[in-house]
Amino acid sequence: MDTISTAGETLYVARDEAERGSEAPFYVAYHGEERRDRWGYVCGNCEGANIAMDPMGRIVCNDCPNRRKPTEWDAAHE
Ligand SMILES: [Zn+2]
């Protein structure tokens, strides 16, 4: 499992758990390899963890233009 370091923490990146983004997928990141403790998302475009989420379901990377639009994308995909 891939790891990245951010703010002194090691995060485990689940490459098989992704949300579609405008530039690249957002991957789910966990505190541990066993995937019990979910941390949030990691940007697949810049590999950064500086991600903002809002209650509308939007996911926005603060370090690059990658972003996931809210629900209408999901409706088209599921
Ligand atoms: Zn990014």
Query: HEC states along the chain?
Result: CEEEEECCEEEEEEEEEEECCCCCCEEEEECCCCCCCEEEEEECCCCCCCEEECCCCCEEECCCCCEECCCHHHHHHC
Q: Which residues span the domain enclosing 23?
A: 2-77
- Per-residue pLDDT of 2-29, as tens digits, reads 999 988 889 999 999 999 999 999 999 9
Give the chain's domain count: 1
Ligand 1 centre and the CA of 60: distance in Å?
Answer: 8
Cα gap 44→74, rounded to integer Å: 19
Distance 15 CA to ligand 1 centre (A): 15
Token reading at 5: 């370091």
pLDDT of residue 26: 97
| AA identity, residue 30 | Y
Nearby residues for ligand 1 (ion, Cβ within 5 Å): 43, 45-46, 48, 61, 63-64, 66
| 18 Cα–ligand 1 center, Å | 14
CA of 35 to the centre of ligand 1 (A): 22
Has this prediction a pTM greater than 0.85? no
